[in-house]
């Protein structure tokens, strides 16, 4: 079931002939654009898969079910069976009454579903038919969306996508467990301090070097507050330094106000006139004060009790931000992990246990110590060594890793080991492609691009899964590819080092406009 859950977020239960070519097709696209992963039977099935088994797995794995009740919905035994399974799963069901009313589902005499059930009675057992009727009656009582013949389908689609996206975000589990050693006490103290500020607008700033765990701690605190119903609106803006400000403003305006702004001026107007609710905002990885000013144009407009969490590598940026407006400020400098916590974190990623496997204890301590107590290095190197537990690895791979780590200076050099350890040229190339071009791209779009490059990639899904297993890439809650900026910098450094070793010195990847201009001016573009 875990694999199914990772594959689809939303299951769309519907009768194809009624709604698939128009409404469902548009809804599927809108959900994908919002970063959700919908399952729509034959459109989501791959060649060779058993249809009904795959549909049932997708239904059981999805976190949200959308049931679209149309005029001929009850004619489909598959729709009715799926509805029963959805109700039994106890997961969120969003009913959509598409040109039918909730009353239609109550199976009253002379209703729109009467003839369909007359036919079912002739072909199915009485107990099964009654079970289907009960399921429809239960669905009629659920809160959903209704479209009549004069309704606006585009508006209906937007409302459904909004509800699905909000639920998926709110149901993201907090990042607890052994993966986060050394943060429990810190997060508890910071949360208590923020709570003591009560009705004041409060800003929490976390700062420190790259890879030290700022984002992890920020998300832990954010999820803790997100459970609190006192915040009417919430927004989580990740890797701010990597994104255009207008895109971030659009995301923030939609999360807080459900407004689709088109310009910075539109965002400023929306912010000033609609900020009458208590909000929770996480702004991750700010590298200049201007980014904060454009996202929070006037902190004095925030509703009392609002909370903002920011992360940055630059303490000066943090200091300049906390000086503005009438608000309470709390700053926290991130420190390296203790030796004990470093070893526990490494062991979790290398052995999926806080203790190393017998025979590896001494080597595991030496590897963890060589990572200099930096969480990102401990995680990535741990994942690299996870499947290296044969006798030959004990004698060669682990000692060589310790030697290489000890010789490297700085985080980028340590992370380079994880790139060198990738087992196939395709995995290495995909890592560099993502580091240079694909960060922030939706996975499904990126995979289409990789699949089109058949000379370089044969079975790109395998390469991508390898990068995920090694903790070199991740998918965010919107289905976009994300990579820690230290890993990104390491990948780009690999490209530059490779270009220096080439005869012409032209990089294989051109991600920087100034670099592109220099190459064109020097006429070094290869064929």
How large is the average pLDDT for residues 387-412? Answer: 87
The residues, any chain, with a CB within 8 Å of residue 134's CB and separated by 6 or more, are: none
Residue 50 has which token pair?
């058993």
For residue 283, pLDDT over 90 is answered with yes
Bigger pLDDT: 517 vs 131:
131
Per-residue confidence band for 34, with pLDDT thresholds at 50, 70 and 90: confident
Q: How confident is the model at residue 2 (pLDDT cuts 50, 70, 90)?
A: very low
Mean pLDDT is lowest, of 53-67, 89-103, 148-162, 255-269, for: 148-162
Task: Answer whether 0.75 is exceeded by the pTM.
Answer: no
The residues annotated as belonging to the active site are 82
- The answer to whether 307 and 194 are in contact (CB under 8 A) is yes
Q: For the residues of 413-449, what is the DSSP string, one character each?
A: HHHHHHHHT-SSHHHHHHHHHIIIIITT-BHHHHHHH
Characterise 99 by phi-psi region: left (phi > 0), alpha (psi -120 to 50), beta (else).
left
Sheet holding 92-98, edge to edge: 38-39, 10-13, 64-69, 92-98, 145-147
Residue 501 banded pLDDT, cuts 50, 70, 90? low
pLDDT recorded at residue 6: 42
Judge whether residue 68 has pLDDT over 90: yes
CB atoms within 10 A of CB 6: 12
Confidence of residue 171 (pLDDT cuts 50, 70, 90): low
Residue spans of beta strands (DSSP E) within 326-403: 328-333
What is the pLDDT confidence band of residue 485, given thresholds at 50, 70 and 90?
confident
pLDDT computed for residue 127 by the predictor: 92
| 149 — pLDDT class (breaks 50, 70, 90) | low
How far is 92 from 63, CA to CA, in rounded Å?
7
Residue 520: pLDDT band (50, 70, 90) is confident
Closest Cα partner for 423 from 377, 472, 367, 475? Answer: 472
**pLDDT grade, residue 189 (50/70/90)?**
very high
Judged by DSSP in three states, 173 sits in coil
Of the chain, the percentage scoring pLDDT greater than 90 comes to 34
Backbone angles phi, psi at 230, to 5 degrees: -70, -20
Rounded to whole angstroms, what are the CA distances from 370 to 320, 337, 338, 394, 400? 35, 13, 13, 17, 12
Mean pLDDT, rounded, of the chain: 84
Least confident of 102-106, 221-225, 323-327, 469-473: 323-327
Q: By three-state DSSP, how is residue 96 classified?
A: strand
How high is the pLDDT of residue 394? Answer: 85
Strands 233-237 and 279-283: parallel
**Residue 278 half-sphere exposure toward CB, CA atoms < 13 A:** 16
For residue 402, pLDDT beyond 50:
yes
Contact by Cβ (8 Å): 362, 375? no
11 forms beta bridges with 39, 65
Selected residue with higher pLDDT from 94 and 270: 94
**Structure-derived torsion over alpha carbons of residues 472, 476, 479, 483, reported in degrees to the nearest 10:** -30
Q: What is the pLDDT of residues 305-358, one digit of tens each?
A: 999 999 998 888 888 887 766 788 899 999 999 999 999 999 999 988 888 888
pLDDT at 47: 37
Q: Give residue for tokens 């330094």.
A: 241
Unique residue bearing structure tokens 């990789």: 450
For residue 144, give every residue at least 6 positions away whose Cβ sits within 8 Å of its Cβ, in sequence order, or none. Answer: 94, 95, 96, 97, 102
Q: What is the mean pLDDT of residues 71-87?
A: 93
Share of the chain above pLDDT 70, in %: 89
């Amino acid at each position: 079931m875990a694999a199914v859950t990772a594959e689809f977020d939303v299951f769309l239960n519907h009768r194809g002939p009624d709604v698939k070519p128009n409404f469902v097709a548009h809804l599927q696209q809108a959900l994908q654009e919002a970063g959700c992963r919908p399952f729509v039977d034959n459109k989501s099935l791959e060649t060779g898969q058993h249809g009904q088994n795959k549909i049932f797995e997708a239904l059981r794995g999805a976190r949200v079910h959308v049931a679209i009740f149309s005029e001929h919905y009850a004619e489909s035994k598959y729709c009715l069976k799926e509805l029963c399974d959805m109700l039994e799963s106890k997961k969120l069901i969003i009913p959509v009454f598409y040109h039918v009313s909730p009353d239609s589902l109550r199976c009253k005499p002379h209703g729109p579903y009467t003839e369909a059930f007359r036919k079912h009675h002739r072909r199915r057992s009485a107990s099964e038919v009654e079970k289907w009727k009960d399921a429809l009656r239960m669905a009629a009582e659920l809160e959903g969306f209704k479209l009549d013949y004069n309704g606006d389908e585009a508006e209906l689609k937007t409302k459904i996508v909004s509800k699905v996206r909000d639920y998926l975000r709110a149901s993201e589990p907090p990042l607890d467990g052994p993966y986060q050693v050394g943060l429990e006490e810190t997060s508890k103290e910071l949360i208590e301090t923020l709570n003591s500020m009560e009705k004041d607008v409060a800003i929490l700033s976390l700062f420190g070097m790259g890879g030290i765990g700022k984002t992890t701690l920020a998300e832990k605190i954010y999820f803790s507050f997100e459970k609190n119903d006192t915040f009417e609106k919430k927004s989580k803006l990740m890797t701010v330094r990597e994104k255009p400000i207008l895109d971030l403003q659009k995301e923030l305006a939609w999360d807080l106000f459900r407004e689709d702004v088109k310009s910075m001026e539109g965002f400023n107007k929306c912010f000033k006139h609609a900020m009458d609710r208590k909000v929770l905002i996480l702004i991750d990885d700010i590298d200049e004060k201007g980014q904060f000013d454009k996202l929070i144009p006037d902190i004095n407009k925030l509703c009392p009790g609002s909370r903002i969490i920011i992360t940055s590598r630059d303490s000066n940026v943090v200091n300049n931000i906390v000086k503005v407006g009438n608000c309470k400020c709390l700053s926290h400098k991130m420190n390296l992990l203790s030796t004990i916590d470093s070893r526990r974190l490494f062991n979790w990623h290398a052995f999926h246990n806080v203790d190393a496997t017998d025979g590896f204890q001494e080597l595991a301590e030496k590897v963890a110590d060589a990572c200099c107590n930096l969480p990102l290095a401990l995680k990535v190197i741990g994942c690299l060594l996870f499947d290296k537990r044969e006798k030959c690895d004990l004698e060669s791979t682990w000692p060589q890793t310790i030697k290489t780590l000890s010789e490297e200076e700085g985080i980028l050099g340590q992370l380079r080991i994880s790139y060198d350890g990738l087992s196939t040229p395709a995995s290495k190339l995909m890592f560099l492609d993502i580091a240079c071009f694909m960060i922030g791209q939706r996975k499904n779009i990126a995979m289409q691009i990789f699949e089109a490059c058949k000379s370089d990639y044969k079975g790109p899904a395998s390469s991508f899964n390898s990068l995920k297993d090694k903790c070199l890439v991740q998918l965010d809650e919107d289905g976009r590819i994300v990579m820690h900026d230290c890993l990104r910098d390491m990948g780009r450094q690999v490209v530059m080092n490779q270009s220096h070793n080439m005869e012409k010195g032209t990089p294989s990847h051109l991600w920087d406009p100034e670099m592109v201009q220099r190459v064109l001016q020097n006429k070094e573009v290869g064929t």
